Chains A and B, each alone.
Chain A
Amino acid sequence: MDPVSLEKLLSVTDAIEESRERDLLSISKFHSIVAEQTQAKDPARRARDLLRVFNELGWVRREKDLLYLTEAYSRFISAWNEGNLLEMNQSFIAYAPYSRFLQCLRDLGSIQIPDARDKEVVKTLGKEYGLTFVAFDTFRFWAVAIGQGYLAPFEGALYWGGEWNNEEPSLENFTRALHEGYREAEKTSGYANIGRVADLVCRRLHISFQAFELKMNRLVKARPGLFVLAPATIRPPSSRFQIATVCPRSEVLKKRWHARLLHSQFKPRWIEHRYIEDGILIDGHRLKLIKWEVSL
């Protein structure tokens, strides 16, 4: 079975949310949703594969021609609605291949994105972690989009980025790493590109870009005046690698409702892609430069 892409998994899940009657969904409805959302060449096979994934995730329980949506499914939907990446990841970990992938990334710390032709790497992945190349290639997108991996944009390496939660790293440790990153980064008139600083901090602390953004938002509130953030940019984009993040479903639903009000076409985009040079969002404002004001 080919691992399912996160975008497809989310599209199918959203369609289930739109169609379910209480906690029930008929198998035939599940099949038609998969056919519509995945546009697969062999929709019946795709539906069987996806049903296996849903089963492993513990999201559904099958009884004859009916699927019962479980408590775990509801927890996932509520986490997705809020854009709670940590909770979403907890839900996905129940899927053994993804869990093995995270273990692999944690063990290795960082890995250069392998090429399918790199037989040695492919062999190691298969032998030690039970991962095919396709599975690795799929789950690296999952991990980055859910904030468990960090794709270093300037070198194309994938780093373990899951060492974070609400408490960890503490704001104190984060501030220290940020300051070090700022000191190391190239500056113009005292301003450093926030993407460059983020790159250093994420790798040093083993956190994802999303965690960096979250901690920055907290730090700005906790210690105003520590540094200045500015919207302008002084650098053109330097890389082809993009940051991907799962959007809170509630935000996508709002856009869908808005499109309905305007009678316009709407194709939901469950994952937002951006370049590291696009900066970070602080209180809804996109900021790209940082200048330290106060010494630590």
Chain B
Amino acid sequence: MIEDLKLLETVKKPNPYEKFSLLENPFPGYGDVRTDVCTNQQEIKKAFLDLLGRFGPGAKRLRITGESGAGKTNILRYFERLTEEARLRGLIGAIYPIYISAPGERYSTIHAQIVERLQEIFFTDLINTLRAQPDLKEALSEIKPAAEFLEALGPLTQRHMLFDPYEERRINALVRWLKGYKLPAQEKKFLGGPLSELNSTSLAIRFLDGLLQVLKRVELCEGVVLLFDEFEEIFEKGRLSRTQQSQYAQDLRHLFDTLQDMVLFVVATTPNPEDLGQYPAIERRLGQPLSLQPIDSEEMAIAYVRDYMRAGRERYLQRKREEGEMIPDLEPLDDLRPLDEHTVIQEYRKLKEEAEKAGKRVLPGYFLPRMRQRMQEVVERDL
């Protein structure tokens, strides 16, 4: 079989990007997001790092604005990764990022996303901690908003059970309850206590607050960075009915206020969602907007290309080293080859003309996919 497999190796086409120390085209296509590169945007990065660095009680909010293609999702995903890295390197405490998007028509859509992510990150550890340290339960009972959650959690944390055949179903039921779903009687049996229905968003937010306080008390989580994408969808004219929109705004206000000690809210939105002005309470809570910067010069365009080349080469080196290949350090990593400054500038100027017709400036969402196309053309031409 080894011999036959070797035959397949010879059939495999060589990767044309390897010639330039890359695994693939380093530039994102239309709508693609890269989490490891974020060129420029110093003001926003500084504001975010300031808030992250002095994470503590009180309101922590950051409002990022930008048109479609300005890089809102990119910077949120970058902050998600940055927070993870900072925590893993011990630069910040146990602060976890949660990315949410597509806010839908009512608050329960984002509530479900938050609960799901908290479950993925913490539930196993939380259950194990409570099983190992049953005396913690008394300390936790002081957290009033968590009383019912802890009751519900009861059957999952009983120490005497060596193996609980219903554990997965109990967790599922708990998560569904926290999300605000109506539980059938059969599912309720898997959880402890007489459960109230989470039929109001204020109750759902109260329990979410309780859960975060529990996680803090058991030292699993000091806080959350909530990265809220596509926020404008809630306040675009005509997308939601007036009743839905004002209910959503009321729930968001409640969310911002209740969770302010434990959560850093980072909200990305288009510059002026048409109906947001009607909700001054929300505008006030979001704070002053910081705008994403367009690619305003040829130097900046080259800086973008260099950053993506560097990230692509770093991925290449990492992969090769993981595969056990002895690859010497590449110098410099941000070399533009197979592109060159002239090509980048040419593309930038062409795009600038097109953007001006649309009354826009050059945004990364237009520029990077164009560089991807150019890169592909150049690499394929060399084949």
Contact = CB atoms under 8 A, between A and B. Distances in A.
Interface of A: 231-233, 236-237, 253-258, 260-264, 274, 278, 284-286, 288
B280 A232 contact: yes
B365 interface: yes
User: Among the interface residues A254, A258, A284, which one has the most CB atoms of the partner chain B within 10 A?
Assistant: A258
Given A237-B242, A254-B359, A260 B354 contact: yes
Contacts of B132: none
A194 B242 CA distance: 17
B30 A258 contact: no
A232 B365 contact: no
A231 B358 contact: no
Contact of A262 (B30, B272, B277, B357): B30
B274 A286 contact: yes
A232 B277 CA distance: 7
25 contacts: A231-B277, A231-B280, A232-B278, A232-B280, A233-B242, A236-B243, A254-B358, A254-B359, A254-B360, A257-B358, A258-B68, A260-B354, A261-B69, A261-B355, A261-B360, A261-B363, A262-B30, A262-B69, A262-B366, A263-B30, A264-B30, A264-B68, A274-B238, A278-B237, A286-B277
A236 B277 CA distance: 16
Contacts of A232: 277-280
Q: Top 6 closest A-B pairs, CB basis?
A: A257-B358, A231-B277, A263-B30, A258-B358, A261-B366, A254-B359
Contact of A233 (B278, B355, B359, B369): B278
Contacts of A233: 242, 278
B129 to A, nearest CB: 47
A263 B369 contact: yes
Contacts of A264: 30, 68
Contacts of B279: 232
Interface string B69-92: 100000000000000000000000
B289 to A, nearest CB: 15
Give chain B's interface residue range (CB within 8 Å of chain A): 20 to 34
Contacts of A261: 69, 351, 354-355, 358, 360, 363, 365-366
Contacts of A255: 358
Interface of A is mostly: mixed
Contacts of A231: 277-278, 280
Given A254-B360, A257-B359, A261-B365, 11 more contacts: A232-B277, A257-B360, A258-B358, A261-B351, A261-B355, A263-B30, A263-B369, A274-B238, A278-B237, A286-B237, A286-B275
Contacts of B68: 258, 262, 264
A196 to B, nearest CB: 16
Contact of A258 (B31, B274, B275, B360): B360
Contacts of A253: 357
A192 to B, nearest CB: 16
B325 to A, nearest CB: 37
A237 B276 CA distance: 17
Contact of A257 (B272, B274, B275, B354): B354
A263 to B, nearest CB: 4
The listed residue with most A CB atoms (<10 A of its CB), out of B279, B351, B359, is: B359
Contacts of B280: 231-232
A175 to B, nearest CB: 25
A262 B237 contact: no
B72 to A, nearest CB: 13
Contacts of A288: 278
Interface in B350-383: 351, 354-355, 357-360, 363, 365-366, 369
Contacts of B355: 257, 261
Interface string B1-32: 00000000000000000000000000000110
A233 to B, nearest CB: 6
B365 A236 contact: no
Contacts of B351: 261
Contacts of A257: 354-355, 357-360
A286 B360 CA distance: 22
Contacts of A260: 354, 358
Nearest to A253: B357
A132 B369 CA distance: 53
Contacts of A254: 357-360
A294 B354 CA distance: 48
A83 to B, nearest CB: 14
